[in-house]
Amino acid sequence: MHIDVISLFPEMVVSGSSFGVVGKAIEKGMVTLSVWNPRDFVYDKHRTVDDRPFGGGPGMVMKYQPLKDALERVKAAHGKTPKVVYLSPQGKPIKQYLLEQVSKQKQLILIAGRYEGIDERFIESCCDEEWSLGDFVISGGELAALVVIDGISRLIPGVLGAEESANEDSHVDGLLDHPHYTRPEIIDEKIVPEVLLSGNHAKIARWRLKQSLGKTWIKRPDLLQNKSLTSEQLELLEEFRTEIDEN
């Protein structure tokens, strides 16, 4: 998968993508990343990429032309018309299903804004979608772009080892993850759930699913609203609730 990012801080995107799973995926060429700076598409003496907002108000707005020319250059480089996503507080919430959908495509273009925002005419005419990490304002779209790059990279076949991708199941079926434990078995007089030491993989899988269901019920009941549980899952959740009541 190829990801293009248009950003005034290309180094932020490149360095933020050079660690861990994403760094390895890029190293192996399973994900390729190009970052384009709108400042390279302006030709006045001061290389102006922003200007004062019409109608007054605080701050500056990113100009249409540098963004448009950078986007045209990206499209010329790949000759296709991939999805263009603008990362902004006004976007639709980024969910796992969005990442899964876009991970199946060959290319994605991410627009990371700065200042107060970007000229609305660019959003309207050049961006297919607006995505948001959540209802908050940070200093720019680059951190959101890094989240999208990371989330998509993990979904590219082969990026995660078999073992890791097996662990992914609990993340992507609409439930919260089960708890994790590692050595030592006892620390600060705290033990590991016995089932995890049993070597009985069926029991362990059942326990993990029960924990995912229970944790989701406690922390994010809204996720269960949109999920039709199987009879086994309903039974496990009931078991979890009973155990909670008994403790």
Which residues contact ligand 9WO by CB under 6 A?
58-59, 87-89, 113-114, 116-117, 132-134, 137-138, 140-141, 144
Q: Which is nearer to ligand 9WO, 143 or 224 (CB)?
A: 143
Question: In this structure, are residues 125 and 20 in contact, taking their beta carbons and an 8 Å threshold?
Answer: no
Dump the DSSP string for 80-109. Answer: S--EEEEEEEEEEEP-HHHHHHHHTSSEEE
Closest separation between CB of residue 62 and ligand 9WO, Å? 8
What is the separation of C-alpha 245 from the centre of its chain, rounded to a whole number of angstroms? Answer: 36
Q: Which is nearer to ligand 9WO, 30 or 60 (CB)?
A: 60
Annotation marks residue 221 as catalytic: no
Closest separation between CB of residue 236 and ligand 9WO, Å? 35
Closest separation between CB of residue 6 and ligand 9WO, Å? 12
Annotation marks residue 169 as catalytic: yes
Question: In this structure, are residues 114 and 8 in contact, taking their beta carbons and an 8 Å threshold?
Answer: yes
Annotation marks residue 89 as catalytic: yes
The residues, ordered by sequence, that sit 6+ positions from 152 with a Cβ below 8 Å of its Cβ are: 1, 3, 31, 99, 102, 103, 108
Closest separation between CB of residue 142 and ligand 9WO, Å? 8
**Per annotation, catalytic residue among 53, 69, 73, 89:** 89
Q: Which is nearer to ligand 9WO, 51 or 173 (CB)?
A: 51
Residue 179 CA to residue 196 CA, distance in Å, equals 11
- Point out the residues that are catalytic: 89, 116, 154, 169
